[in-house]
Structure 1
Amino acid sequence: MGGDGAAADFDAFYEASYGQLVAHLYALTGDLGEAQDAAQEAFIRAWDRWHQVSTHDNPVAWVRLTGQRVAISRWRRARTAVRSWVRHGPVAPVAGPGPDTVALVDALRRLPEAQRSALVLHHMGGRSVAEIAAEGGVAVGTVKARLHRGRQALAVLLGEEPARVPEPVPTQPSTVPVPVPVPVPVQASGRRPVGVRANNTAAPDLGPGSLPRTRPESPPGAEVEPGPVGDGDEGSGATMPAGPADTLARELTELTAHA
């Protein structure tokens, strides 16, 4: 083959002589498809030897002769195939894959590529575990693990072994008591009953004699009398301090006196 000049010369040669060659080979073979194929093959061979064919006195004659030889060779091969078919008869039909084979191929397609490759090479290709490991560049234990997991997955997919469902882990009941809120009855005045705290829990029973001593409220305008001395105040000579109600009563008395 040459450079751009040779390619341009061959293109011009091809366009000028292709139709004539196809018509000649069609008249020879009686098959337009065979004539076109033979013509293409002849021009391919001419391009491979264009540095020699281009120097011939008649390059078209070289291509025509080459096309005839190609067409005759193709016809001879077809005749041999027909004679062989007549002698031996038609090829016996090959039975299709059975349902087991179809199921196996479908199950293999659903496996990871590493497991599928190990199973096919070992069980169908007859390769040893060491050979598979060396070819894949992995450890022998890795190949054994892939074979083991692949066989287990195939057994499940083919219905030979039920799928294993992990059992739920039993939980121990909690022994911590949950506090139950105690409803707080509300009186008509909106006050809590005596002995009930704000967090809905009953006040602890301190026993008799241990309750804090309180002084009853005095009515408005009454003089505050010193209270008796308790057991805990014995010998101290102190009186109980006045509560908020006593202070309010005293202030009201003073306001009334000034009025």
Structure 2
Amino acid sequence: MTLVVTGGSRGIGAAICVLAAARGDDVVVNYSGDPAPAEAVAEQVRAAGRQALAFRADVSAEDDVRALFAAAAELGPVTGLVNNAAITGNTPGRLEDYEVGVVRRTLDVNVTGVFLCCREAVRRMSTRHGGDGGAIVNISSTAARTGSAGEWVHYAASKAAVDTLTFGLAQEVAADGIRVNAVRPGMIDTGLHAAAGLPDRMAKYAPQIPLGRPGQPAEIAEAVWFLLSEASSFTTGAVLEVGGGR
């Protein structure tokens, strides 16, 4: 499989890239900012004996996404896509305090970006277009269910849109040999929280998690891999919750 992972240079995305390589995939590591972490992940993929390409692209920009998938073809036909790239927009706050530009940018990356990448993947994977089929996994969030009140309501809304897109697209392309599913992570111990100005967020919410701790990126990667693999061959349109029970 040639797998495209958006936002693949850090956190959950990086864990997905490394696990996919260990399971036998060639990987395109998409990133939008600093190339160094993406190249480091690509080196881990190569160390596992697989091909890797680190490619800069803003998933909300149509031309960038087209270029990303054109570059991915250098490794072979794309048969897997993980839509992991997402932003919260800024530090947490109430909806009435948000600037519209922040909300628009969040929706552009988190929703339009998923749409664009899914579209390019379908155009290559679909048996209607001469492809061999494939699998798409969208990364959602438990915020789509909880609403993230007082923090990131706009982000939660973007992830709810991802859930709906997942189900609708799954119905649309099932006969074309493409399965579309989502993973809905809960509180995961990544650098996202500190970057948003909340370094203590994990400690704050851990007591509310029935399993008593935040999750790790590798645990989300395993769930994603299941949905990419033939182990889930009769699964499409599903949203797999991986949130420790919260």
For the aligned pair, the TM-score class normalised by the smaller chain equals under 0.3
Tell which structure's C-alpha radius of gyration is larger. 1
TM-score (norm. length: structure 1): 0.17
Which structure: greater helix fraction? 1
Structure holding more strand per residue: 2
Structure number with greater CO (CA < 8 Å, separation at least 6) is 2
